[in-house]
Chains A and B, each alone.
Chain A
Amino acid sequence: MAPTLEGFLACLYTDAAARARFLEDPRGEAARAGLSDAEQERLAQLDVTGLGLAAESFARKRAAQERHRAHRRRGFFDWLLGRRR
């Protein structure tokens, strides 16, 4: 069941609405995601402070990656148009 657990965590880390639903009802959300009883039990004890910090950190990283990709795309088009040696 671990791939399901990882998918569930990926949603928690990236989706504020999913995070809010989970914090409202941890066991219920985990059960609806198809996680096992043992996984539901462990998630009910989730580190809430860490969840907020991690989600914020991942959001900053995704934004930085998007800026980096945009920069590289500009570099490629500059090269294509002969503006870059």
Chain B
Amino acid sequence: MRRRVRRVRGLTMTRPGTFRDRVGLGWRRELAAGILTHLDRIDVVEVIADDYFDALAAEVRALATLAVQVPLLLHGVGLGLASAAPVDEARLRRMARLCAAVHPERWSEHLAFVRAGGVEIGHLAAPPRTPETIEGAVRNVARARAVVGAPPLCENVATLIDPPGSTCDEATWLAAILEQSGAPLLLDLHNLHANARNFGYDPLAVIARLDLARVGAIHIAGGRLIAAPGRESEGDMRILDDHLHDVPDPVYELLTEVAARAPGPLTVILERDGRYPPMAELLAQLDAARGAIERGRHRQADPQGRRF
């Protein structure tokens, strides 16, 4: 019954001569029951790979079973691909083993560095945007492709600090890595929105610089405005990409822009990492994403309506 419903949904979303866009949700233990009971409204799930590197064999088998039931993407958070230093081979092999066991549709990782000089930062840091980190990221992506057997979707990251030591802007840096590595892009629209707001540039200009044929998946999420301690009154607020809040309207608007320009099918994942609302609210955000895509696709079909 579930498979029949999914097939019908696919048919209703596909116009003759076009492709099917998909919208899904990040798999979290707290959301598991809700996801499994609403697979008729969730086209794809994304699982944090690092959560399974030390998992019991039974847990990995369960994940492989899930991948049979619903299209599944594995998402890495700890490789640190965008570094002038070589990617850690042991971590790459763990990713390769998990991919071999689970057979995800695709896998992804961030264009960030997470450790350097023996220091673990503990999260995704935007590296200095320099020729050295472009070269390092290209080399690391090639190594990841060789070890895992498929290239990672490479994700743009959010940052609260304008990456120190940079010599180029985000769009130039990102485009260079994608072009030189040939890797597909995991375009995080909330990260793009946050960075653009935090550092005063136009996110549409970044989208215009990217080759959207490379977009293999899209993230949407929510965050909140924060101020530096003691500087709340100075108005220097920045967006923290905390995945704890609903998707804001500007992110849906960016999704429409991408859908209006992207030549291929889109896979959109809603990321939510805590303060979980009722499942109905998450499903409503998935529907809002579908609406945003549809508006963009209509614009693509009617070039007179295009903004670029």
Residue of chain A at shortest CB distance from B83: A6
Mark out the residues of chain A between 35 and 58 whose CB falls within 8 Å of any chain B CB in the assembled complex.
39, 42-43, 46-47, 49-54, 56-58
| Contacts between the two chains (Cβ within 8 Å), count | 109
Question: Does B238 reach chain A (CB closer than 8 Å)?
Answer: yes
Interface size on A, residues (CB 8 A): 36
Asked if A77 is at the interface of the complex by the 8 Å CB criterion, the answer is: no
Cβ–Cβ < 8 Å partners of B85 in chain A: 3, 6
Residue of B84, B133, B160 contacting most chain A CB atoms (<10 Å)? B160
Q: Which of A2, A43, A54, A79 contacts B159 (CB 8 A)?
A: A54
Contacting A50 at CB < 8 Å: which of B113, B118, B128, B161? B161
Whether A46 touches B116, Cβ cut-off 8 Å, given contacts A10-B125, A13-B121, is: no
State the interface size on chain B (CB cutoff 8 A): 38
Cβ-defined contact, A50 with B238, below 8 A: yes
User: Is the Cβ of A50 less than 8 Å from the Cβ of B117?
Assistant: no
CB-contact partner of A53 in B121, B127, B130, B238, under 8 A: B238
Q: Which residues of A are interface residues toward B (Cβ below 8 A)? A: 1-15, 39, 42-43, 46-47, 49-54, 56-59, 61-62, 65, 72, 76, 79
Q: Which B residues are CB-close (under 8 A) to A58? A: 121-123, 125
How many Å lie between the Cα of A7 and that of B130 in the bound state?
Answer: 15
User: What 0/1 pattern do residues 210 to 242 of B give for CB contact below 8 A with A?
Assistant: 000000000000000010110100001010100
CA separation between A24 and B121, bound complex, in Å? 22
CA distance A77 to B123 in the complex (A): 27
List of B residues within 8 angstroms of A14 by Cβ: 119-122
Of B54, B121, B164, B229, the residue contacting A52 (CB under 8 A) is B229
Which A residues lie within 8 Å of B132 (CB)?
A: 1-2
Residue-wise, chain B 98-134 has the 8 Å CB interface mask toward A (1 for contact) of 0000000000000001011111111101011010110
Flag if A7 contacts B54 (CB, 8 Å): no
